[in-house]
Structure 1
């Protein structure tokens, strides 16, 4: 499928969905929409992912595109009205539109009418199934090894770390599954449940359902983490994933240089404190240990400095660590094996 990615004024640093699709999805990305970077290419901003031109609007995208993906999700998941002409253009051309916003495009009267008129699909990725229930606390019944990523904060690379571990495991011949819990993971995997949109009573149950299904058929289950246990707005999502997954192991994710909570004027606790925080929090439902760490070093200039940062992170948490994008996830994967 040929797709365009909408990432206006956020690409690449605040367009993690767009970057995730470029790095991991099986789509053929023909263009990225970003008014601020019009005339450049993806490779000018992000190495080692699909390359494509960056253009100003959907009207600059070739006619043979199949879908437009909203590749950004601002705090609160709102729809920016400046995107409306691009979505309208896509639907009028018969293109499907996929969105991970909390604002459902299918409930937008104009978009719903255009989709029906032109035979296009509106896929609101964050719309959960309606048949969810509370968790039964029975994930420990599966034989699979369940590994969940957890973070010091939002947007530190939990989805990326989970995906890298999963893909490396598959490449080594391990029977592994990826459990998608957020919009980016769902767009990449093609299935999953958006835990941050599930009624709170049912959120752990939604995670439990996915882990039970994956664990019945696979030896290793890698669960995509969300948010952080210390985040003032999103800690509930983290809690639901940790308790719903009942993981055997945890992988702690952090971004080098991050010292305050994303979007808030609040200092992060010391990195080393997160090991006990997460192990203690998981303890009532799972004897989970922080078996390794993943450090996002995108803000570190050179590889030597990045390796030093990874080593310091490993020392701080008392476990092996990697930068899964820069150096690969093999050190942590070997410990999991």
Structure 2
């Protein structure tokens, strides 16, 4: 499929869905919409991903099969300045994919256009209605379960998960992704949006996905969300931790980040103490341990990145790497 991705005023640093698709999707990205950087190309801002022109709006986009809302602001609301772009995509007959909490299918104007042009509105954060509580069986599955956790939102958990699966497959391992967020679901084409489930059913939703895939893969890498100390999203993180009952944890952090994004009055804890907190929280349900770390060093020079990774590993007292920049061998060896 040919995709265009909306990332107005957020590309690339605050458009993790857009960047995730550019890096991992099997589809062809033909344009990124960002009115602040129109006229640039993707690789003017980020390397090692698909390249595409950055354009101001839908009128500058070539033929596409799908249009993706590639940003998700805090709270997941819809910005009315995006309406013309979504409308234009629907009028072309393109599918529209959205990871917002605001469901486009509930918008009367969008729903009417999708019906008129016989196309699909895919609200990725729309879980099935038959979810239920966990049965506590994930720890008994015949697969090694690895869950990514971290110090905050947007620290590289989804990225580390995808990189680990790719690297594991290169080693010949039977490995699969368990997507729990909108970006992972769009990349993989399946999954459950854990931050949209009823609280009682969060662990059960994760467990369901693991049970569905356990016979297919020897290693299942669960995409983490949020952080257990996040002032807004800790419930999601705890649900994934207890629902996945992982055999191992990979701890993710962004170099230089000292406060919770969007909640800067909350300082991030020491990474070593924080990693131990994950282990302590998991232990009564299913004991596990942090076996390695992945540090996002994208804002650092090569020399500073290697130093930061070394310091991060010392703080965790475990092997560490930047999964994108330096590969995943240390993590796979630890597993």
TM range (shorter): over 0.9
- Counterpart position of 1:15: 15
Shift of 1:170: 1.1
* Separation of aligned partners in 2, 1:318 and 1:149: 17
Q: Secondary structure at the match of 1:116?
A: helix
Residue 31 of structure 1 aligns to a residue whose secondary structure is strand
SS in 2 for 1:37: coil
Instruction: State the Cα distance separating 1:216 from its structure 2 match.
Output: 2.2
Task: Tell me the alpha carbon deviations over residues 135-193 of structure 1, each in whole angstroms, 9 at most, x when there is no partner.
Answer: 01111111211000001001100000011001111111100110000000000000000
1:119 match? 118
TM, length-normalised to structure 2? 0.99
Q: What aligned pairs does 1:110-149 form with structure 2 within 5 A after superposition?
A: 110-149=109-148
Equivalent-residue separation in structure 2 for 1:275 and 1:186 (angstroms): 26
For the residues of structure 2 that align with 1:214 and 1:177, how far apart are their CA atoms? Answer: 8
What SS does the corresponding residue of 1:292 show, helix, strand or coil? strand
Unaligned runs of 5+ in 2: none
Summarize the alignment of residues 238-253 of structure 1 with structure 2, pairs less than 5 Å apart.
238-253=237-252
> In 2, distance between residues paired with 1:29 and 1:331?
31
Listed as ranges, the matches of 1:1-337 within 5 Å are: 1-62=1-62, 64-264=63-263, 265-300=265-300, 302-336=301-335
Question: Could you tell me how far 1:325 is from its partner in structure 2?
Answer: 0.8
- Root-mean-square deviation (CA, aligned residues, Å) is 0.6
Task: State the 4+ residue runs in structure 1 displaced beyond 2 angstroms.
Answer: none
Query: In structure 1, the residue corresponding to 2:259 is in which secondary structure?
Result: coil
Give the C-alpha shift of residue 299 in structure 1.
Answer: 1.6
**C-alpha offsets along residues 205-261 of structure 1, whole Å, 9 cap, x if unaligned?**
000011111212211010000000000000000000000000000000000001001
Structure 1 spans left out of the alignment, 5+ residues: none
CA distance in 2, matches of 1:275, 1:196: 22
Larger mean Cα displacement after TM superposition, 144-153 or 266-275: 266-275
TM-score normalised by structure 1 residue count = 0.98
After superposing the two structures, state which structure 1 stretch, 168-177 or 73-82, moved more. Answer: 168-177
